[in-house]
Amino acid sequence: MPPDSESEQKRSFLLTLAKYSQIGFALPAATVVGWLMGVGADRLFHTKWLYIVGLLLGIVAGFIELIHTVSKADDNG
């Protein structure tokens, strides 16, 4: 039995929702991971400023992932 149009639209909507919801998790996760790596580097090297570098690198990585996800979605139509 072929899939009906309504179930295909629902499936398409859920796939799109899943793609874009990853942005909501990836950006904060990258920021937290960068911060934690900076804190670890601070403890390892006995400094007090590397957490800022890790935080900034995490934010940049999150925005790169955001741009990558959005541009990939635009390519798919």
Residues found in the chain: 77
> From the CB of residue 31, how many other CB atoms can be counted at a distance below 10 Å?
20
Question: Is residue 42 assigned to a domain?
Answer: yes
Question: Is residue 30 assigned to a domain?
Answer: yes
Q: Under DSSP, is residue 45 helix (H, G, I), strand (E, B) or coil?
A: helix
What's the domain range around 67?
Answer: 20-76
The answer to pTM > 0.85 is no
Would the CA dihedral through 57, 59, 62, 64 be positive or negative? negative
9 versus 3: the higher-pLDDT residue is 9
Question: Is residue 38 assigned to a domain?
Answer: yes
Strands (E), the chain: none
Euclidean distance between CA atoms 34 and 12, whole angstroms: 33
Question: Is residue 7 assigned to a domain?
Answer: no
Tens of pLDDT, residue by residue over 6-61, are 788 888 888 888 878 888 899 999 999 999 999 999 999 999 999 999 999 999 99
